[in-house]
Amino acid sequence: MLNTTNTKYPYFELIEIVPELEFGKRNYKPLNPVKAGNYVPAFNLTNTYDRWQQFYNGAETHGPVLLRSLLNKPLVISFYSHHWKNAGSEQLKQLNAINAEIKANGGNLLVINADKHDSLQKLAWENSLSLNFYHDTNNEIAKKFRIYSDDNPTWNTFSGIDANVPLIATYVIDPSKQVLFSHIDHDLSGEVPLKDILTAVYGAALEVSTKRSA
């Protein structure tokens, strides 16, 4: 309580003193993405309608997704978010260019979409994309690949990103979920080593075929 009898040197009761909050610096844990040779922890894909977006030559299509057929072959799995802007769209265009070769080599391609956004339909139409997208609610799959974490938001590393989204990453995994190839676009160039992807798919498909015929 303020002492009104001594205006030159007022004093306060201790109860009125509110200490300033001390905000300690938060320690962020760096991401540690899975690499070739690692096994990805089990993750689930569901047939829920709102999880999938399929495009053929730019037009959105609707049809059943055969998960068993998708996962029983070497799988190229690429992570995408519209927040990556040109780097993300360039990656999709390059993957689309080899989609037919991936299938011819005995594999499948799936794009994991971090966030549903109207721009995807426009991007697919303008570039005649023929790709399957799976919406990764709460980044469940990205966390399995260790390319997303609440403890290390994307904006800590990349300027111009105002949302915490997975890294731009592409993997090739076999049916046992072992990583055969990994690539992360740290430079945001949109470049993808297409030949390396195809080589990994072909080698994995050959091994799968050999095991099944043994």
Domain 36-213 carries which CATH code? 3.40.30.10
pLDDT greater than 90 at residue 1: no
Mean pLDDT of 198-205: 95
Q: What is the pLDDT of residue 156?
A: 85
Going by the DSSP 8-state scheme, the letter that residue 39 receives in this structure is B
Q: What whole-number distance in Å separates Cα of residue 117 and Cα of residue 152?
A: 23
Which candidate, 116, 169, 122, places its Cα nearest to that of 145? 169
How many Cα neighbours within 13 Å face the side chain of 122? 5
Q: What is the pLDDT of residue 22?
A: 47
The token pair that represents 181 in the structure block: 């190839």
Mean pLDDT for the chain overall: 87
- 76: β partners: 109, 172
Q: What is the pLDDT of residue 23?
A: 46
Confirm if 92 and 129 have CB atoms less than 8 A apart.
Answer: yes
Mean pLDDT of 178-195: 93
Task: Count the neighbouring beta carbons within 10 Å of the beta carbon of residue 180.
Answer: 20
How confident is the model over 92-137, as pLDDT tens digits? 999 999 999 999 999 999 999 988 888 899 999 999 999 999 999 8
How confident is the model over 11-38, as pLDDT tens digits? 545 455 455 444 445 566 788 999 999 9
Q: Within its chain, how far is the Cα of 143 from the centroid? A: 8
Task: Count the neighbouring beta carbons within 10 Å of the beta carbon of residue 203.
Answer: 17
The token pair that represents 150 in the structure block: 């609440």
Domain assignments of the chain as residue spans, ordered by start: 36-213
pLDDT greater than 70 at residue 89: yes
The token pair that represents 183 in the structure block: 């690539």
